[in-house]
Structure 1
Amino acid sequence: MSQQTEQTERPARRQRAMTVNTLFVTGMLSLTPLALSSPASAQALGYASAPLSAFPSDDAAATPDDSAEGAAGARVLPERLRRTTVALNTDEAPGTVIIDTGNTTLYYVLGQGRAIRYGVGVGREGFTWSGVQTITNKAEWPDWHPPAQMIARQPYLPRFMAGGPGNPLGARAMYLGSSDYRIHGTNDPTTIGKFVSSGCIRLTNEDVTDLFGRVSVGTKVVVLPKNAAHLAARPIAGGEVASVTPQPRAEVTTPPSGRRAVNLSMSSLY
């Protein structure tokens, strides 16, 4: 190649190299905003997943640990309200439930002068009652439908609450006749031994589960007046009661249409 030809092509080669470099730099600069974009911008563009905390958990559907909860409730109860076998003279047949309202205790009659005593919470002033009822239904982790009278007094109440650890009816419920009254558990064991409810009889979740396993539909329930003489029951030496073998736990239900159950622990609701 002649010296004149080489001198003519050198500027052309330099021009082509500069053009290629310019195009490369321009392309890299156009990609920089995507590489430096914030997580929020990335989510807006749809190529980053949202954090798990963006989706609230449904605590109402959590699997409850009734054994642990019940044991914790039992530890805070005074001696007279703890489940135990006692000597009790009564004419009621074995299998009968007797509720000593004024003494906030419930007895399950065993026969032969013995009964199992449980501590209970009962109706507050103006909501105590007495009489004879029959257990007409039993439910595990029951749903709660507040009765019309209660809604009239407390219109802010939900019309439905799914069964579960946040439900005021607790782990088990035994329905009394055709009334709105129930023997049921509670998520607030500190109310045992007190006059707090709207007429229902409540036990700790551990105790109500034990009683639930002993009674059946058709069991007689005797509720004594608040001012009646207390039943003369006395503890038996070594009379601690073994728990009934728990029945299979029903699946915790959730409200329809994806609604979440509200955790209400106010003691006067039920």
Structure 2
Amino acid sequence: MNVDEFLLRYAAAERNFPDIDLSYVDLQEANLVNLNLTGANLSYADLREARLGKANLSKANISYANLSETILWGADLSEANLYQAQLREADLTGAKLIKTSLEKTQLIKACLSGCNLKNANLSHAIIFEANFRPNQNQQTDLTDAILVEADLSYTNFSGAILEQANFEKAKLCHAIFGVSGLGVLSSEQSYNTNLSGVNFKDADLSYADFSGANLSDANLRGADLTRTILTNANLNRAMMPDGTIHD
């Protein structure tokens, strides 16, 4: 099926296109909301500024695709392959990214508020200035996420669920993990970021803000804590940069 036929069928209210091959196609600014693309091949596709809200892209191959400024709010990308995809300024608010491969993906200035990233692989991803803040009481879930060597500078993680996340050798300078990044929230939204057991081994945490965060049992061995803000942070049993255990 070529792209023209696909768009005609979509315009005729067809929504189910599982396993379709749309690799290398140009779908810039296409309106494709509520679409079923389970298992589809979208590798190398140009989806800049497309609207894919509520789309089902689970298990799809979206590697090397360009999704800059694409709207993906509420989309299901579980187990999808987004290896080296371009998602600059994409809106992934409330998206499901469980077990999604985001290795080497560019998520610069992307909105990831309220996403479920359980067991997602973001190793070597560039997530500079992305936003992980809670969205309408829904927290971003990065439980067990792999963020090894990812560039997360200036990223706001306030209120995100980060238990057992792996930030080894990640670049987190000026990142915000503390309550200061939450702004003015209602009492129901008053999250303190839980970083218990998180691996920050050899990570660059210079100028990062962990005020009020829970870092109990975290691994900070070899981490750069230059001018890091740890006001009211819980460091019980945390391994410090020199290898000692904090009382």
TM-score, normalisation: structure 1? 0.18
TM-score, normalisation: structure 2? 0.20
Instruction: Give the number of the structure with larger relative contact order, counting CA–CA contacts within 8 Å between residues 6 or more apart.
Output: 1
From the two aligned structures, give the one with the greater helix fraction: 1
